Amino acid sequence: MTSATGSTPPVRVAMLGCGTVGTQVERLIREQSADLTARVGAPVELTGIAVRRPHRHREVPEELLTTDAEALVASDVDVVVEVIGGIEPARSLLLAALRAGKSVVTANKALLAEHGPELYEAADESGADLYFEASVAGAIPLLRPLRESLAGDRVNRVMGIVNGTTNYVLSAMDSTGAAYGETLEEAGRLGYAEADPTADVDGFDAAAKAAILASLAFHTRVPAEAVHREGISRVTAADITAARGMGRVVKLLAICDRVVDEDGGESVSVRVHPAMIPRGHPLATVGGAFNAVFVEAEAAGQLMFYGQGAGGPQTASAVLGDLVAVARNRVAGGRSPRESAYAELPVRPMGQVATRYHISLDVADRTGVLAQVAAVFAENDVSIATVTQRGHRDEASLVIATHLASEDALRGTVEKIAALSAVREVVSVMRVEGEEP
């Protein structure tokens, strides 16, 4: 193989953006040049890097830098690697590249989640490749297994921790008992949260990833806006304490479910929200920068993928893996799997999605309160699994775990319970995941 590569023309690569990830991509292409040549069957040549302010990028060779991204994409390159992030100008640049038959490797989850079909179509028309492993869970090979390894199986569930910032904040709240606001501030000081943490703490980042995972897992287009999204900003120290009291921990989960109705009709439920999981659950011990994702498939059973979900070198590893695949296809022929959206399953409205709940209430310590509360649950058709009643002096608490209940029914129940005169405060309402029914 090595002997043939001397004469094979190089695969020419343009890179858009040069931040934490791009810097590492440039380094890896340079340092692993001989390996890449052997693995691809031709040299991989980085011909240019488009950035806004070239003087800020002293860590990469100056002669590669350009401010004209459009011209770089239009130049004589085979592959465009995009690590700018955000929707524009990334979208226009990648569409231009794909339409010109240039293959694309991107780490851009927001773009994929919002404009995936448009990109796939452009790739399809020109026969170019579109790879995006780095867009979800950093270095963890997750999309390729879903797109390819499990292509002969039927995936029923994908559930995981896919955002490092929120995982850091929730872990810290769990270990210190501190409130959300001060923990987030501390996370910012330590570099675990961005200056503007909205995309992370409000769940936008995780929701984009959930949309991509669900689309691949269920062969169905799931746009980011179809993902039910709750962030962690309303998680209180009381929630965390309540979870601990039950031997649980609070995590922000991305959950993609295939739902089969009684009449056999199928739909998908895709959601991002905080949930309590048992401390013995494998996801409970996933800390800080690590991500972990469970996949349940009919034949394969339960699989877990674990690794670093963010970071320059880690994300660059995923980009390079895709780059090798794209470059190999250029040299040896072949194509990335096309969009597979044939199943066209409807996305179930969150109100109709059934999960189990934990509810903790501060109530007046008098007889009959439990009966009152239980009656409201019964009226709203929410079945109680366990109740724990604790009282001292005139204060008392009720901790209730429900069986599977729809979001709509649960919300209705909680509203009415909050209005009961005997209920002083609804301390915590949170979904419970990861337990056997």
209 is catalytic: yes
Angle 414-420-421 from CA coordinates, rounded to 5°? 150
Q: What mask of x and - would describe binding to a second copy in positions 288 to 307, judged by CB under 8 A?
A: ---------xxxxxxxxxxx
Tell which positions 20-59 bind a second copy, by CB under 8 A.
24, 28, 32, 35-36, 38-39
Catalytic residue of the set 102, 109, 209, 251 = 209
Indicate if the alpha-carbon torsion angle 295, 301, 302, 306 is positive or negative.
negative
Closest distance of CB 364 from a second copy, Å: 45
Q: Does 2 bind a second copy (CB under 8 A)?
A: yes
Q: Does 210 bind a second copy (CB under 8 A)?
A: no
- Of 24 and 355, nearer to a second copy (C-beta) is 24
Q: Does 279 bind a second copy (CB under 8 A)?
A: no
Tell which positions 366-425 bind a second copy, by CB under 8 A.
none
Sequence-distant (6+) residues with CB within 8 A of 60 are 18, 23, 26, 49
CA distances from 179 to 67, 190, 279, 293, 427 (A): 44, 17, 20, 27, 14
- Of 6 and 333, nearer to a second copy (C-beta) is 333
* Three-state SS at 296: strand
Q: Does 150 bind a second copy (CB under 8 A)?
A: yes
Q: Does 340 bind a second copy (CB under 8 A)?
A: yes
Q: Does 316 bind a second copy (CB under 8 A)?
A: yes
- Of 181 and 342, nearer to a second copy (C-beta) is 342
**Beta strands 228-229 and 266-278: pairing type?**
parallel
Q: Do 402 and 410 meet the contact criterion of CB atoms below 8 Å apart?
A: yes
Sequence-distant (6+) residues with CB within 8 A of 225 are 114
Q: What mask of x and - would describe binding to a second copy in positions 238 to 277, judged by CB under 8 A?
A: ----------------------------------------
**Residue among 26, 82, 133, 230 that touches a second copy (CB under 8 A):** 133
**Residue among 188, 245, 321, 391 that touches a second copy (CB under 8 A):** 321
Distance CA 71, CA 52 (A): 14
Structure tokens at 189: 């000081």
Distance CA 384, CA 364 (A): 20
Closest distance of CB 329 from a second copy, Å: 7
Closest distance of CB 422 from a second copy, Å: 45
Q: Does 144 bind a second copy (CB under 8 A)?
A: yes
Distance CA 302, CA 295 (A): 6
Maximum Cα interatomic distance, the chain, rounded to a whole number of Å: 88
Q: What mask of x and - would describe binding to a second copy in positions 167 to 206, judged by CB under 8 A?
A: ----------------------------------------
Binding-site size for a second copy (CB under 8 A) equals 60
Q: Does 338 bind a second copy (CB under 8 A)?
A: yes
Q: Does 1 bind a second copy (CB under 8 A)?
A: yes
Distance CA 348, CA 280 (A): 30
CA distances from 418 to 70, 210, 242, 276, 394 (A): 57, 32, 18, 21, 18
- Of 86 and 337, nearer to a second copy (C-beta) is 337
**Residue among 159, 256, 323, 410 that touches a second copy (CB under 8 A):** 323
Q: Does 360 bind a second copy (CB under 8 A)?
A: no
* Three-state SS at 347: strand
Stretch that binds a second copy, among 95-103, 171-179, 315-323, 415-423 (CB under 8 A): 315-323
Stretch that binds a second copy, among 71-79, 223-231, 331-339, 385-393 (CB under 8 A): 331-339
* Three-state SS at 389: strand
Using a 10 angstrom Cβ sphere, with 0-12 exposed, 13-18 middle and 19 or more buried, the burial of residue 67 is exposed
Distance CA 405, CA 383 (A): 7
Q: Do 362 and 427 meet the contact criterion of CB atoms below 8 Å apart?
A: yes
Active-site residue list: 209
Site for a second copy, rule CB under 8 A: 1-2, 24, 28, 32, 35-36, 38-39, 133, 139-141, 144-145, 148-154, 219, 282, 297-308, 311, 313-314, 316-325, 328-329, 332-335, 337-338, 340, 342-343
